[in-house]
Structure formats: structure tokens, C-alpha cells
A and B are shown apart, each in its own frame.
Chain A
Amino acid sequence: MKPSPFQYHVPLTVDDAVTILNNVAPDDGHILAGGQSLVPTMAYRMANPAHLVDINRVAGVDSVGVDNGHLSIGCLVRHAAFETPVIDGPIGDLLPKVCHHIAHYPIRRRGTFCGSLAHADPASEWCLVATTLNAIIELRSVRGTRMVAADDFFEGMMSTARAENEMLVSVRLPLMKETERFGFFEFSRRAGDFGLTMVLAVYELAGGSIVNPRIGLGGVEDRPSRNAAAEQILAGSAPSDAVFVAAAEAASASVEPMEDIHAPASYRRHLVKAGVLSALRQTVQ
């Protein structure tokens, strides 16, 4: 449980970080953010990076701001920044609710929102939030900046559209309207464990009907995803338990769940049903 040897770099600006990353990435160089995923994998020698680019001293990337209808989250913003609402309105309420399910407080004090996205664990809460809310991810390299939609960003189990020389500089979450409602479900074996299934349900209520429903599932398949089957049933319907049950069943029938020692596929499939239903019921409570 001692990592193998690596070279350690400490840039102070985003430009320096990107330049160093560009130099070392081909030689198995990686960014070190909160270290809450990377360091354990190094201790287990499942990751043996030759270079670490520690961004913890980079200036100007540790704040949350509102920018053009989006909540903009810099790459050194820790999970713990969202323990309480960072802004009024539904998204301000949603983030703490989700945040409390991420690991334990000491881990939340170090781990970063953007690090979670870069790491792309299928059971990451922030990856689910990013996917469900259509986040935009800002990637910077020596060649410039590009913006990638969350839907295009997550490509599979711990794999993303980020090129190895790109740094995730920020993520932008669209602000939610006052008329938008949400519900969040997560089940893990113990408090603080990665969820075996997570569901984030969001929709707008217009004239008594559900508009723009988004049912995001996390921890079920190899990446977070929206569930079209459930969304189809919800769109245009009035919220009711019967509709919620139908959506939950549709979601459950449409997934291809992963298996691991904590949950066979059949159990995850069941949790999807229970989770979608629970998340939807919260929207009317």
C-alpha cells in the first residue's frame, strides 16, 4: 500500500498546469485534485502514474459563481462547498441533498466536484447531477478551451471524452426554474458508501402537467444516463402515483444493470424501480 515512484509537479496557474500536463501526459502524467480517488488507487498500485500535476495551489479556480444562467463550479471547489445551499432556488436545495450522500465529511472536505467528473465513477453523485441537468464541462489544453455537454462527456466506466492533455477547468450547471421540482433517491449498504443505485428526477410543472422530465440514473450501468422510457411516460401527464409507478416500471425494464459483489443485476433492476418511484413521489410531497 505504498505507491510506486512518481514525479511531483506543483503549478500555480491554470496555464502552467495545462503546460505541464501537456508535457507529462504522454509519459503517464495525471492531475491530482482532492486525491480521494486517485491516491487510494495508487496505494493499491492499480494506478501507477509517473507524474502527478498537483493543482491544489492553482489560483482562482476554487469558487462557485453564477454566469449567464449557469452555476459555474471551478475545479478546486470541494464537495463540502455544497453542504448548504450556494444559491437560492431549486438547484441550491438540490445540491446539498445530493452532497450528503457522497462519502463522509472528511472526504467531502478534500474531494472536488470536477475531480468526480474527471474520474467518472458510474456511482458518482455529481456525475449523475451533471448528466441529469445537462451540465457543460470546460476542458482546457495548450491548444485552447472546448465545452463538452455531459451527455457526450461520459463514455463508459471511468472513461470520458477528456483527452489526456486536457484539464477540466470548470463545470456549468444550468440554473433551475422556480417551477422545477426534483426528487433524489440513493441506496447504499452503509451510510457513505457508493450508491448501488441513484435516481435524480427533475421536471417542470406547467398547467398541471409534467414538462421536460429528466430521470437520471446512476450506479446502475457503466455511466450515468437519462432514462428515455420513464421520461416518455411522464411527459405531458399529470403527476399521479399511477403515472409514477408506470414510469418506475418502464425505467426498471429498460436498464442493463451492472453486477458486483453487493448487487446482482436483478437487485439493481429492482432498486431502479424503487428509486424512480421514491424520487418521483418526493416531487409531490
Chain B
Amino acid sequence: MAKFDPDVSVIGQSVARLEDPPLVRGQGRFAADVSFPGQLHMRIVRSSMPHGRIVSIDTTATLQMPGVVAVWTVADIADIPPIGFRDTRVEQLEPYRQPVLADGVVRYVGEPVAAVFADDAYRAEDAADAVIVEFEEWPSIMTADVTAEFSPGHSTEAMVVKQGYGDIEAAFGAAYAVVELDLSVGRHSGVPLETRGAIARHDAVNDIIELHGAAKVPHRNREQLARMLDRPLSSIHLFEGHVGGGFGVRGELYPEDVLVCLASLRLGQPVKWIEDRREHLIATNHSRQQRHRIKAAVDRGGQILGLDDVFFHDQGAYVRTHGARVLEMVSGMLPGPYRIPAYRIAGHYRLTNKTPCATYRSPGRYEGTFVRERMMDAVASRLGLDRVEVRRRNLISQSEMPYERDLQALGDDVIYDSGDYAGLLDRALDRIGWPALLRQVEQRRHNGELVGLGLSMFVEKSGLGPKDGVFISVDPQGDIEVVTGGASLGQGFETVIAQICAGTLGCDYRRIRVIHGQTNRIANGIGAHATRATVMTGSATQVAAWKLRDRALDAAAELLQADRADLTIADGEVRHKNQRLSPCVALGDISAWISAHPSGTDAPGGLNAEGWFHTEHMNYPYGVHIALVKVDPSTFAVKVERYLIAYDVGRAVNPMMVEGQLVGGLAQGLGGALFEEFLYDDRGEPLSVTFADYLIPTLHEIPAVEVLLTEDAPSPKNPLGIKGAGEGGVNGAGAAIASAIDDAIQCSGAVTALPVTPARLMVLMAAAPKNPAAKDRSLSVADH
């Protein structure tokens, strides 16, 4: 790790994270670490029935149990509306919102049916076990291949998301060949080490509800809570502590968050809820499950003329806070880095009796990239062309930037701001030594090994607007506070913001305190989601730091009786640019001086500045993944031997942390490709409810990932040229690994579904046609 070098701008240096000292010293403050005197513990009684009517809920025995203060069912919170959508109002989806407690009907195993409040977490769990719920079982719908009635007058197909451009009929009419695929991505999700938690207390003195354990989008959740509880905005505040991983699922507004707030108010005691792992695996958002039927029209040379996709999104039991965003992102981003002159997509948004789905790191893109890149491989195979060459022929070139497609994602027009896709492909192939690697693979195959190479290309998105603001102030001792409306999920937010502030202002980044996730410190904020924090909050920080720098120089010119143009700021002091020995003044002293001599134009309280950053459009980082895998012919296990992530981040504020984001993302992408899957039986009983069933890859299963981080295409959309780094490690993983497995078993197009488990690969290989190595592989190679 690079040491902090004060003579080089700290922006772009791999400096140590500010976050780490308390974490490695055991001074972390995660949700479970938060407790208040006199607190109650909440335990949720969850549905054991996948689909059915609640006939009765008997709480008599529970109420008699020691320590039990209250048991709530829907009747006790009849005034609270279902949980709404965060960003968009989609009327069509409203009938599918989740009630805080089941309202007469249950739709998935794990749905909250009642809430028990007791003086101790153990007693709360004992008491919850004593609640007797009687159900009338209804048939459950476990696949998005079909539709049925959701509720009277409402189909399980909540909506169909459609996008497209160009003349698709003409494209298919003119095609030399049409390639059709039926592809599926399995149900998996973000599974942070820290489960969810929510601790609420009501401050009766000021009539304020405090919710601790917040994450991701505290300001937005505050607004939602105020609406749902019908309280003034200023009477609710959210507080974020350490967050042990978010990945999209943590920090959305869930029933439990609403319940603890309401209970703290109505029961007059603080209320604490900590999710357990089984709950997490059935209650927290799932993601990804989709089936695509895609067709490509291609010309003789492998150019794609048109892409026509119909997909089915298995949403689970309710529509949660995101509305239809995953489908919008699939449909808006599926074309990726390729030109694709005509495009049509229809996403069928269908409800089933499983845990509800929402966004998970690289939502819609992991799925879309898998589908698109499987198609690129299929086109190459169909036309007898090289996989790399087919991609190259379809790439949007640098000269076409900015590249506008007539598509939308996250309510934003998709306009690729900058990028050199072919350039990155070349650099990636060069870094991994593609030609030599192909020869090695050939040689090993000749020796009987089932090894293969795969690649995928993709475009990511980041920096969702519209705006973000920060407030920077310098205290008399020279420490700097940056108050943001951002959030930290452990990704290094504080360090990045401190680096940008320090680099712009001219001070040591370690003297900067970055405040995030505290709604009582700043009125606005969009938190940390959609790979936006560094772009948006970072750019706002730069704007504020520039202003602060100006003010400091103005004041110093007066104080030092110097020409402002001769002054600069370094190491937290204003100095003469050239004369090292001439007098200088520390930022803290300037702040104290301004406090004592306020002028008309200064904000009160010393040296400070507010800065806002606005953007109309997202920006678009991009990447290439290359995987080398080996299939064990006797067990059908897939081992990822090498993995390269090439990624253009525009500008890396802290390359070490960008690499960390990419490698961590890959671990999750690899999980979805080979291991992780939420399975259900036909009746709707979840089967993946422990870490023995839901398999997260460990260090043993993850290769040493190689990262090629480039800064070839800075974003023109912000002054630093930053693009986001959060999702590029996961995006292309399913696609690259699938491609490599095909290659290893010498059967193009074999992998049509993720995850590729050994049992599934056995079936695929048995069905694979005339593969020379396919005799009886189990007997052909010794192992162990």
C-alpha cells in the first residue's frame, strides 16, 4: 500500500483507508452493537405457508409468557399503508405492494404475520414460537413461466416493460442467420456478513423517532417512514453506523423497520430487532431470477442486425421498494457495448410465491450481460467465427462517443458518455497473453484436461443524479468536517471523500472527518446506491472544497497582507507560492479569525462552504472479463483457475479500493455462476435457509483475481472524470464463466442456465454431442 505523499495530489493515490482503525481494533458499531436502556426486543412470527389465507392467529398463550409486552397482528397497525416505491410512482404496481404485516393472505414462506415484543431477545423468540397461526393453504405459483390471479382483478403479471428502437422486422427479414437462445439466471442475492438490524427509540422530549441501523438510503427511507407513519419529516431521524455489507439488499425499507419505529412510539420503549441468518435468507430481498428467450438477426460477417428478447422476471411475492427498476435496467442496458441497429425487448414482470426480489449489485446487468454474451458466443459458433472477432466487429467505436441509444435506464436516457471498448479489449487480451493462453489450453486439452477460456464484455453505469450536496467546515484546530448525505456500506466512502476534499483543498486527508448517513446533520442525500457515491458526493465535495479554498485564500490575503495570486494551500496552511520562509497561516487559524471577524458574505461559524453537484445523465464505465476454468471430469466440479477483470473507471480516486471493489464483486459474480441459488420445493418451501444450503464461495473457491484498471475514458460529465467502480467486478462474471465452461467441455452453447452446479454439468456433458473427450470421462482421468 502506498504511503501518503503530501507532495503529490492525494487524489489517485492508494492511501490507507480511514475506516479501518476502529474496525480492526474491535471498535466497530454495527446494528447489533446499538442498545438503549429499557429496550424491548422484537421477534417476527413468519408465515410457514407459501400461499394461503390466514384463518386465525391465536396469541393468548404468548401474552401470558414472561417478559412479553405486546403482540401485534395486522389489526393493530391497520392505519399503516403498505410499503411504497422509493423513486417512482407506478400506479400499475400498487396492488402488489407488501403490507407491513400480512393482511389476511400470505404469499411466501417468511412473510411477517405478527410481531412479538418482549424484554429479552430469547424470551421474544420463545414467545413468537407460541403464536399459533392457522392457514388455509392455496396452490402456490413457483415459476414465472405461467400467470394466475394475484388478487381479485389483478394478474400475477403485474406489468410488461417494453423498450426498443429501429426496424426489428426489417432486421430479421434481412438476416443471413437467426440465432435463438433460451437462457436463465438463477435466484440468488447479496448476502452480507452482517444481517439487517433496526433499533428505534422515541425521544419524547422533542417528539422525534430515531431509527438506528439505517443503511444505503437513510434520507429516502426517512421520507417514506414519515409518509407511512403520517408524521412530519422533522420528527424522524435515521442514523447509520457501520454496515457489514449492503450489495443492494441492505438498507431498503422493510416491514421490520416500520414496525420498530411504530412500536417505539406506541409502546413507549426503545425497540431492537436483529435479523437472524435464517430470516435473512427468506426475508431480505432475493434477486436475479429471469428467463430470456432471445433472438439475434445476423449478417454473414457476424454483425448483429437486430436483437429481439422476451424475458420473464420471477419477482416473488410482492413488489418492493424498487418498483420495476430491475426490468428497466435489463431492458435499457442489455445491448451493452455493441452497436445493434434494431432492438426490441419485453420484460414480463411476474409474481410468484417466493421471497420478493429487488436490486442486487449490478442489477439487471449481470442478467443482461449473461444473455447478451451467450448470444455473442452463439453467433460466433453458428458462423464459424472467432469469439473475439465477432465481438470486435460489433463494438461501438470511440469515434461514435457520446453514443445515444433510444433507451432508458433508471428513468435516464442511455447515452454512453465516453469509452474505447475495442481499446480495452486489446489491452485485456494483451495482459492475459491471450494467444499464448490459447495454445496452453490446447496443449492441456490434448493431454486430456477439460480446460477452457471464456470472455465477456459489458458496459456498466454509475453516477445517478440528479444532484448531491455537501457542507465542509474547518474547526479552529484545523480539522475538517465534510457533512454528506451519502452512505457507507463499507466500500471506503469516507476515504474517497476525504481524498477528494484534501486533494482539492491542500491538506492531509487524515485530518478530515466525513459524516454520512445522519439525517439530522444534513437535509438532503441520496445515500449509496447505483454506484453513485464517489461520482455524485465526490463531485459535490470537490465543488465545496473549491469554494472553501477560495474563501481561505481571500481571508489569508487579508491576514498576510499578500497578493492573493501569490498564495497557495499546502498541508493545511496558506503560504506564499515561491518563498518557503515567508509567513503562513493555518486553515484553523483562518477559521477562528473569520468567526471573530464575520463579514457580510461569510456563512456563520468560521471557514466553511457548501457545494452542490448536478448532473443530467449517468456515466458509463465498461469492462472485459476473462476466465480460465477447469472441469474435473470425474466430479464435474468447475474450478476457476485464472480470472482477469479489465475495467475502465475513468479516473480512480484510490486505485487500491477500486481493485477491492472489483475483486469483491467477482466473488459474488462467481457465486452466482457456480454456487449460490435459492431453491424451493414444488409446494413453495424454501430449501436454502442456512449457509450449508446456500453456498457462498470462500477463499478456496475464488482464484487470485488479476485486475487491469484503466483510465482511458474519463467521464466528461464531472470535473474529475470519475466513473463508478462498485459493480464492474460482478457484471460480466456469469457470462465469462459460462463461456469458459462451454470451451472446456468443447460444446458451444452448452451452458444456458446459471448456476452451473456439478450435478447440472453432468447432465449437460452427457447430452453434449460427439465430444472426443466425452466417452466415459469419469474413468478417463485420475484425480486426488
Contact = CB atoms under 8 A, between A and B. Distances in A.
Contact of B635 (A187, A194, A282): A187
Interface in A13-37: none
A267 B766 CA distance: 12
A264 B779 contact: no
A123 B365 CA distance: 39
B783 interface: yes
Contact of B784 (A1, A185, A248, A271): A185
Given A2-B122, A189-B758, A264-B759, A270 B695 contact: no
A278 interface: yes
Interface in A229-268: 245, 248, 261-264, 266-267
B126 A5 contact: yes
B634 A267 contact: no
Interface in B750-783: 757-759, 762, 778-779, 782-783
Interface in B113-139: 121-122, 125-126, 129
Interface string B686-699: 01101011010110
B406 interface: no
A267 B126 CA distance: 40
A193 interface: yes
B278 interface: yes
Given A277-B779, A278-B782, A261 B679 contact: yes
Contacts of B693: 261-262
A44 interface: yes
Interface string A59-91: 000000000000000000000000000000000
A192 B757 CA distance: 17
Contacts of B758: 187, 189, 263, 267
B276 interface: yes
A190 B701 contact: yes
B779 A245 contact: yes
Contacts of A191: 698, 700-701
Interface in A188-240: 189-194
B688 A261 contact: yes
A45 interface: yes
B635 A262 contact: no
Nearest to A277: B779
A110 interface: no
Given A190-B695, A264-B759, A4 B129 contact: yes
B413 to A, nearest CB: 43
A193 B688 CA distance: 15
Nearest to A43: B276
Interface string B666-689: 000000000100010000000110
A281 interface: yes
B54 interface: no
A199 to B, nearest CB: 10
A278 B783 contact: yes
A187 B637 contact: yes
Contact of B778 (A2, A273, A282): A273
Contacts of B637: 187, 189
Nearest to B275: A1
A100 B661 CA distance: 32
B690 A192 contact: no
The residue among B277, B693, B757, B779 with the most chain A CB atoms within 10 A of its own CB is B779
Nearest to A3: B122
A61 to B, nearest CB: 29
Given A2-B121, A267-B762, A278-B634, A190 B276 contact: no
A274 interface: yes
Nearest to A186: B784
A4 B688 contact: no
Contacts of B779: 245, 248, 273, 277
A1 B103 CA distance: 26
A1 B122 contact: no
A5 B120 CA distance: 13
Interface residues of B, number: 33
Contact of A262 (B701, B759, B762): B759
B35 to A, nearest CB: 16
B687 A261 contact: yes
Contacts of B675: 189-190
Contacts of A271: 635
A274 B278 contact: no
A282 B784 contact: yes
Contacts of B122: 2-3, 5
A274 B634 contact: yes
Given A2-B122, A44-B278, A191-B701, A263 B759 contact: yes
A81 B700 CA distance: 23
Contacts of A45: 125, 129
A104 to B, nearest CB: 9
Interface in B722-771: 757-759, 762
Nearest to B697: A190
Contacts of B277: 1
Nearest to A267: B759
Interface in B78-129: 121-122, 125-126, 129
Contacts of B700: 190-192
Nearest to A252: B778
B681 to A, nearest CB: 9
Contacts of A194: 692
A190 B698 contact: yes
Contacts of B778: 270, 273-274, 277
A5 to B, nearest CB: 7
B312 to A, nearest CB: 23
A274 B784 contact: no
A266 B762 CA distance: 9
Contacts of A189: 637, 675, 695, 757-758
A94 to B, nearest CB: 14
Contacts of A282: 784
B20 to A, nearest CB: 24
A263 B784 CA distance: 21
Contacts of B762: 266-267, 270
Contacts of A267: 636, 758-759, 762
Contacts of A193: 692, 695
The residue among A192, A261, A266 with the most chain B CB atoms within 10 A of its own CB is A261
Contacts of A190: 675, 695, 697-698, 700-701
Contacts of B126: 4-5
A3 B129 CA distance: 11
A245 B782 CA distance: 12
Contacts of B692: 193-194
Contacts of A44: 278, 690
A248 B672 CA distance: 33
A277 B276 CA distance: 42
A248 B695 CA distance: 29
B319 to A, nearest CB: 28
A261 B687 CA distance: 7
A209 B700 CA distance: 39
A7 to B, nearest CB: 14
Contacts of A185: 784
A190 B700 CA distance: 8
29 contacts: A1-B125, A1-B277, A2-B121, A2-B122, A2-B125, A5-B122, A44-B278, A45-B129, A185-B784, A187-B635, A187-B758, A189-B757, A189-B758, A190-B695, A191-B700, A193-B692, A248-B779, A261-B687, A262-B693, A263-B759, A266-B762, A267-B636, A271-B635, A273-B778, A273-B779, A274-B783, A277-B778, A278-B783, A282-B784
Given A187-B635, A245-B779, A277-B778, 17 more contacts: A1-B276, A1-B277, A2-B121, A4-B125, A5-B122, A44-B690, A45-B129, A185-B784, A189-B637, A191-B700, A261-B688, A263-B759, A267-B636, A267-B762, A274-B634, A277-B634, A281-B782
A-B interface, 5 closest residue pairs, ranked by CB to CB distance from nearest: A191-B700, A1-B276, A274-B634, A267-B759, A2-B122
Interface of B: 121-122, 125-126, 129, 276-278, 634-637, 675, 679, 687-688, 690, 692-693, 695, 697-698, 700-701, 757-759, 762, 778-779, 782-784
